[in-house]
């Protein structure tokens, strides 16, 4: 679309992501396409049309998504576009959907469906071919066991299934609701029965998913103090790639916020023309204007979650540009910026996420105590403060000799909008207990945090009962890799900051941790991490309320429509295997895997049983990892799904499959049977 010069000056471009990668694009990373329209009306038409397409795709049932994928593959295989399929095209189609069959089987399947003996499949024959291909014996066996009413599953049969297999506290009304919701045959519905097609539809939707449907929305108490929650947090949020020469972009903030990240980082430096900029200091990473970042944060902060966003400032700026930072924050964020404590008296504890809905908190240095707001004591003897731990580390890394403890001049305007997240240096847990106010928080480099979690786990947990802790990756991680966040959550750390721009196992765990509770970016910590009487230590388990021993039975049954790993090689078919991992306290960490299935990514079947002994289920995450087996090199990643053990539903469940970026692969799923039982 051409753009006029007048509109170019005033229009804000809107963004679309496309999946096509150029040779310069990092593999697996989306490339952005910026579009510009000639008028605001055209922008609105584009946006509303794209949103409609996206919403329609999101609202497709799993069965419709599966059919859409199957028939799109059929269209690709129909080389001459005559709506008929030859045997050669059938073989091409089977490779498209990740199935390797020998010639005789392909010919047999073709002949079975070619009822007209025309040598091609068309119309109903293609439909029959599809149904033959998608036949699932494991579903037939389960359905046959419980369909005791003239070959169908009556409401009583379905209730029996829900009580005995799914272990749900179900009633007859629940069975009626499921039939009404999922049954596709009107006659069966009128007779309060569920056909096999309706049963499969139920298993493939939210009610039959591994994630407890009640946890898809906010279900936890959101009125506890802020420090009682794990908070989804990012590090170097501005970066799209590595920390040496990668691009900085407002797009990185948008992506993180849309993933419900509730704490973003802003590395602030003096920029040209008096305007502060954000980038990774002393490197070749590109720069982005501070004010542009604040605008983007304002626009996207509460699209996915209404709960508060913390802006973690790493301040390297001169006083003059700090003044501008403060003014930009106040101007662009307006009333959403918390500029004074809630209430009329000096608080003794944090407000809750519920009380801070739609609000922004600034984390940074402050020149005086918070109670000065109420005592009118604004006298500041010295306008300098010690640098942030991470900022000081950044400076140390850029200099040959380690300097003495760095000091910076701090602007009062910027200081005054730091309310609940005043940054202070950590000395010891004893020092913090005796000297730190609740709103004074420390940042820990990963190495220091992991050492404290290993040697002083209970003290660390008690520290986090009334204060916030932020953990950040070591500066040596120039490739923007991540540390394991689980040990940090195990000691109650709230702001466990990860590089959101890096697709990694650690980010999968983070996504899993924050998947329930409406994906709002806040998860209430277990009671034993909030109670002052608790002596919980994740490294050496003792008796206590945290010890709720369980046995977790997992049967990996089958998978459906797994994606091809190497799409360039038409004959490349995956040899899938499944790993089931438990991530939690040290005693619970475990991993078990199935054998691999040769040349079948379409409907591989394992029927493999595993058992895991769980001691602290409230801290455990379960992760399903699908890999393409390779005897000569490391297995290739196919997909994964992670969630807290406490959000797992028992029984026969479909598990969604996510790609490396954490996006759902709509056509793929894993079928399992799960049982979480009290240990004898």
Q: Which residues are catalytic?
A: 235, 280
* 573 marked ligand binding residue: yes
For residue 236, say whether it is annotated as part of any ligand binding site: yes
The two three-digit tokens of residue 441, written as one number = 């928080």
Ligand-binding annotation for 575, yes or no, is yes
Closest CA to 180 of 188, 189, 171: 189
Round to whole Å and give the CA distance between 307 and 25: 34
365 labelled as ligand-binding?
yes
**Cβ-based neighbours of 256, under 8 Å, separated by 6 or more:** 234, 237, 264, 500
Cα–Cα nearest to 352, from 530, 233, 201, 486: 530
Give the integer Cα–Cα distance in Å for 658 and 664.
4
- Asked whether the beta carbons of 310 and 421 are under 8 A apart, the reply is yes
Estimate the crossing angle of helix 155-164 against helix 172-182, to 10 degrees: 110
Distance CA 303, CA 254 (A): 10
**Half-sphere CA count of 241, side-chain side, radius 13 A:** 16
Cα separation, 538 vs 536, in Å, equals 6
Contact between residue 462 and residue 435 where contact means Cβ atoms under 8 Å apart: no
Q: How far is 297 from 291, CA to CA, in rounded Å?
A: 10
Beta strands in 446-517 (DSSP E): 469-472, 495-498
CB 268 within 8 A of CB 314: yes
Three-state DSSP state, 77: helix
Alpha-carbon gap, residue 141 to 131, rounded angstroms: 17
242 is in an annotated binding site: no
Q: Is 267 annotated as a binding residue?
A: yes
DSSP 22-46: -TTSPTT--EEEEE--SSHHHHHHH
Contact 489, 513 (CB under 8 A): yes
298 CB-contact burial (10 Å; exposed 0-12 / middle 13-18 / buried 19+): middle
Q: Cα separation of 294 and 328, whole Å? A: 8
CA dihedral (656, 67, 54, 663) in degrees, to 10, reads: 20
Q: Is 470 one of the annotated binding-site residues?
A: yes
Q: How many CB atoms lie within 10 A of CB 582?
A: 22
180 labeled binding residue:
no
Residue positions forming the annotated binding site for Ca(2+): 236, 265, 267, 314, 573, 575, 599, 628, 630
Binding-site residue positions for substrate: 363, 365, 443, 470
Known binding-site positions: 236, 265, 267, 314, 363, 365, 443, 470, 573, 575, 599, 628, 630
């Amino acid at each position: 679309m051409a753009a006029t010069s007048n509109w170019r000056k005033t229009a804000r471009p809107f963004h679309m992501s496309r999946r096509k990668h150029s040779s310069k694009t990092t593999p697996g990373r989306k490339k952005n396409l910026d579009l510009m329209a000639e008028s605001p009306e055209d922008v609105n038409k584009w946006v509303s049309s794209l949103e409609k397409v996206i919403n329609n795709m999101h609202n497709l049932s799993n069965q419709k998504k599966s059919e859409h994928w199957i028939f799109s593959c059929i269209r690709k295989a129909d080389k001459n576009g005559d709506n008929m399929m030859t045997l050669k095209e059938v073989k091409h189609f089977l490779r498209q959907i990740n199935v390797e069959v020998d010639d005789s089987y392909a010919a047999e399947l073709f002949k079975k469906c070619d009822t007209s003996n025309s040598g091609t499949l068309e119309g109903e024959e293609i439909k029959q071919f599809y149904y033959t291909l998608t036949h699932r014996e494991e579903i037939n066996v389960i359905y046959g066991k419980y369909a005791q009413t003239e070959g169908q599953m009556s409401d009583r049969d379905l209730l029996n299934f829900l009580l005995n297999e799914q272990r749900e506290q179900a009633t007859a009304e629940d069975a009626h609701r499921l039939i009404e919701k999922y049954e596709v045959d009107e006659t069966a519905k009128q007779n309060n029965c569920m056909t096999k097609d309706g049963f499969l539809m139920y298993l493939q939707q939210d009610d039959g998913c591994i994630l407890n449907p009640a946890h898809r929305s906010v279900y936890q108490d959101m009125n506890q103090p802020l420090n009682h929650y794990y908070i989804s947090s990012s590090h170097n949020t501005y970066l799209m790639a590595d920390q040496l020469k990668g691009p900085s972009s407002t797009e990185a903030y948008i992506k993180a916020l849309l993933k419900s990240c509730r704490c973003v980082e802003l590395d602030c430096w003096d920029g040209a023309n008096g305007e502060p900029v954000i980038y990774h200091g002393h490197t070749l990473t590109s720069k982005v204007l501070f004010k542009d970042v604040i605008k983007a944060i304002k626009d996207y902060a509460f699209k996915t979650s209404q709960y508060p966003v913390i802006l973690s400032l790493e301040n390297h700026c001169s006083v003059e540009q700090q003044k501008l930072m403060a003014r930009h924050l106040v101007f662009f964020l307006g009333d959403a910026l918390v500029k004074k404590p809630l209430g009329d008296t000096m608080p003794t504890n944090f407000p809750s996420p519920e009380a801070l809905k739609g609000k922004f908190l600034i984390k940074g240095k402050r020149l005086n105590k918070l109670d000065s707001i109420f005592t009118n004591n604004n006298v500041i003897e010295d306008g300098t403060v010690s640098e942030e731990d991470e900022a000081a580390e950044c400076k140390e890394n850029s200099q040959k000799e380690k300097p003495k403890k760095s000091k910076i001049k701090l602007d009062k305007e910027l200081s005054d909008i730091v309310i609940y997240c005043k940054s202070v240096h950590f000395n010891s847990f004893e020092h913090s207990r005796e000297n730190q106010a609740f709103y004074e928080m420390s940042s820990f480099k990963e190495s220091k945090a992991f050492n404290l979690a290993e040697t002083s786990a209970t003290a660390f947990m008690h520290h986090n009962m009334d204060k916030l802790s932020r953990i950040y990756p070591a500066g040596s991680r120039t490739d923007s890799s991540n540390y394991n966040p689980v040990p940090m959550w195990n000691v109650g750390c709230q702001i466990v900051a990860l590089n959101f721009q890096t697709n990694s196992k650690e980010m999968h765990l983070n996504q899993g941790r924050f998947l329930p509770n409406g994906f709002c970016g806040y998860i209430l910590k277990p009671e034993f991490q909030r109670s002052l009487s608790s002596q919980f230590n994740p490294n050496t388990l003792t008796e206590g309320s945290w010890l709720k021993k369980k046995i977790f039975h997992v049967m990996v049954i089958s998978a459906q429509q797994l994606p091809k790993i190497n799409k360039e090689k038409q004959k490349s078919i995956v040899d899938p295997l499944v790993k089931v991992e438990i991530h939690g306290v040290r005693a619970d960490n475990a991993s078990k895997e199935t054998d691999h299935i040769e040349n079948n990514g379409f409907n591989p079947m394992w029927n493999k049983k595993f058992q895991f002994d769980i001691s602290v289920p409230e801290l455990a995450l379960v992760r399903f990892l699908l890999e393409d087996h390779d005897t000569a090199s490391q297995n290739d990643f196919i997909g994964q799904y992670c969630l807290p053990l406490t959000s797992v539903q028992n029984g026969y469940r479909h598990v969604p499959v996510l790609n490396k970026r954490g996006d759902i692969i709509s056509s793929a799923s894993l079928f399992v049977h799960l049982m979480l039982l009290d240990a004898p």
